[in-house]
Chain A
Amino acid sequence: MGVAGYVALRVGWAAVVSVIIVTVTFGLLAAAPNPSVQQAATQAALEGGDPQEAVERERQLRGLDEPLHVRYLDFLTGVYTLEWGWSEYRSQPVTTALADAVLYTAQYSIPWTILTVLFGPLIGVYSAANMYTWRDHAATGFAFFGYAIPNFFFGIILLLIFGVWLEWIPIVFRTEVPAFSLANARQLAIPVFVLVTGSIGAIMRVSRNESAAFRNATFMKTAKAKGVSPLRAYAYHVMRPTLVPLSTTLVGQLLAIFLGSSLLVEVVFGIPGLGRLTFNALVAQDTNLVLGSTLLFTFLAVVGNLLEDLAFTVLDPRISYDDREL
């Protein structure tokens, strides 16, 4: 079996995982009482109608009178054909709601990802190159600080300092400013900083430790002996091998942080992105929207893990896909 076969199987598996997660979600929701049915009864009674009849009508409308397996199949088809329903909380289709929100989430998560991916390994390698100097200590301190300080705590404190006391940044997130403008950069600076601080630490540590292993490798000594400039030697002989194991941990880690942090940071900074959408949908009991955002995050996680695995397979020649059945 070749690479293509392995990749195909892995993709197939990702699809299976998504179905399993969707099924669990369906099971959870099917077991819960449906609010809209109750609502119909309330409404009917207010108007002097027959609540029982209204309940029946609502059940029929929502397809709740169908047997479970029919509802399950309907649900599954709906999910995979992107028929995610109407969000009562936002008065727009769930897919539109998610698309709107993704736009804002992207505005801070793209710079965040780029900065993390760019500076994480760089500082890590720099740290390793200057191992045990004050530079290394400073970088390590920063890394530890970053992943130990809770994002939301850090966020509200920075907002207090820079927004309220110094008035350098706006407190209210303005959606009307263009995505590529100074005003937008200003209002996103602190959220991005908080997120980068939170995520860069782990990557710095991994790349530092990884490159430390290469630092004393024979090929580095050879390179140094040959008079290759230290920078060049590092770029070629340390950065490159470091990136291999790093890339395998990167996706998963970023995804995990993304799920939790986007929610918190968006709530703290008032960014109307995916995280806040999910949170509000939960609080407002908008089942369609809760489901929609759960599915979106799930698919992101599944695809992320898939990419991570594929990267691992492709990048690391030591893993042979031949003797793995799947």
Chain B
Amino acid sequence: MSTDTDPNAEADAPRFDRVDWEAYAGGRTGRVSTTTKLFALTVAPIVALAGYDRVAAGERETVFDAFAAATDLPLQAFGLDFAVTAVDYAFAATLLLFVWYLVVPLFQHPRIASHYWRRFKRNRPALVSLAWLFVVFGGGLLGPLVLNAPEQNILAGHQPPVGLTVAEANVPQCVGEVADGRCGGTWEYPLGTTRGGVGVFTGVVYGMTISMKIAFITTTIVAGIGITVGTVSAYAGGWVDEVAMRAVDIVLSFPTLLFFLLVLYVYGAGLGMFIVVFSLFGWGGTARYVRSKALSVSEEEFVKAGRLSGASTRRVVRRHVVPNTASSIITQLTLLIPGFLLAEAQLAFLGLGDSSIASWGQLIAAGRSDLAFAPWIVLAPGIVLFLTILAFNFLGDALLDAVDPEATTEAER
């Protein structure tokens, strides 16, 4: 980032990430860590359920139905009655990954956690952003369990949000009160309805789920590929580095959106394909970034020392390079997510997205013809999308500050 580093600033700045990661990862080498074991333990049921879905559940029933029927568990009571897709399994597995490798470590190391928190707290926009993202996350995770899936009711089309009215001529039937030839909103549809009578509020909440899935799954894949390629490339050097970086060149110059359009054109594509294509071509920047970070880290004395003392390459990369670049990677990924969300929204808006899912882009597209008299259909999901992207950006910016004290933002002066 900054080019003329001031050695004093370097010394003054608390390099918590370096030292503490060391301490944390210190003693346990060669064995599978507890975290990994726990992760494997929790992810196993998901894999098992996916396997059960493939093998035992009939084509025309959901895996939960099949499971409930087989075990007499009242799963429906918990809202577990939806059809589970491959994307859902991937989402669940990804969530566990985040829990065990990001959330749990923070709890295990309250000192680091509280340090981060103190730094973070000072950046108020980032704090608000985090809160908003928690809302989106929680809404996306719990919403579908609480709210019924968006359902069409054509006679309830174009209902206004609570507190607003719309000309009676524009609605087929007014659900709420009619006054002066204008139809008022009801709490049945707090944010009004689309042309087909789908509640915008429900649509927005279900859109959160989609956005969260995209954010988590793509990030995991991108991080996985990017970090692997980046660190290996940096550490191995030579022809490995060369090949890897040329691969990055290709991935970077590959017009992903166009490529996705081509795939869509030839084979048709849903949300799963979107995630696969965008993450397979989205890791270029991360790999490059990680490589440069890793290169600078591997020049550090402690890495050199490790090498001199005969540590294997794998060990050095795992124990030193990855942990010391972790915070930068997280930052970089945070700034990557909005791109994916935006891409999905754009495709959905163009009518090229997965029409079977209720994403924000889809809602915006559905309402754009009616903007003149029913602006809520576009505004509600549009603003939520805007805020979410904004939040990711603020968060990324704040993390950037935490990682790189040099580039302070105005908010924490």
Contacts and interface: CB of A to CB of B under 8 A. Distances in A.
A68 to B, nearest CB: 16
Contacts of A172: none
A132 B411 CA distance: 8
A132 B413 contact: yes
B410 interface: yes
A325 B255 contact: no
Interface string B370-399: 011001001000100111011001100100
A137 B2 CA distance: 21
Contact of A150 (B266, B389, B394): B389
Interface of B is mostly: helix
Contacts of A278: 258, 261
Interface string A17-37: 100110011001101100000
Most buried by A among B242, B387, B407: B407
B1 interface: yes
B390 A260 contact: no
A294 interface: yes
Contacts of B364: 150, 152-153
A153 B255 contact: no
B253 A305 contact: yes
Contacts of A260: 257, 342-343, 346
A190 B378 CA distance: 19
A205 B350 CA distance: 30
A144 interface: yes
A301 interface: yes
B246 to A, nearest CB: 7
Given A160-B372, A263-B350, A305-B253, A153 B3 contact: no
A28 B263 contact: yes
Chain B interface category by residue count: 35 or more
A89 B386 CA distance: 36
B265 interface: yes
- Please classify the interface of chain A as helix (H, G, I), strand (E, B), loop, or mixed, using the class held by over half of its residues: helix
A301 B255 contact: yes
B262 A17 contact: no
A325 B242 contact: yes
Contact of B382 (A31, A153, A301, A302): A153
B349 interface: yes
A20 B342 contact: no
A29 to B, nearest CB: 7
11 contacts: A20-B250, A147-B393, A148-B338, A150-B346, A150-B364, A213-B407, A214-B4, A263-B257, A263-B346, A282-B352, A297-B258
Given A28-B262, A132-B413, A282-B352, 12 more contacts: A32-B266, A132-B410, A147-B389, A150-B345, A150-B349, A152-B345, A160-B375, A241-B3, A260-B342, A278-B258, A279-B350, A326-B242
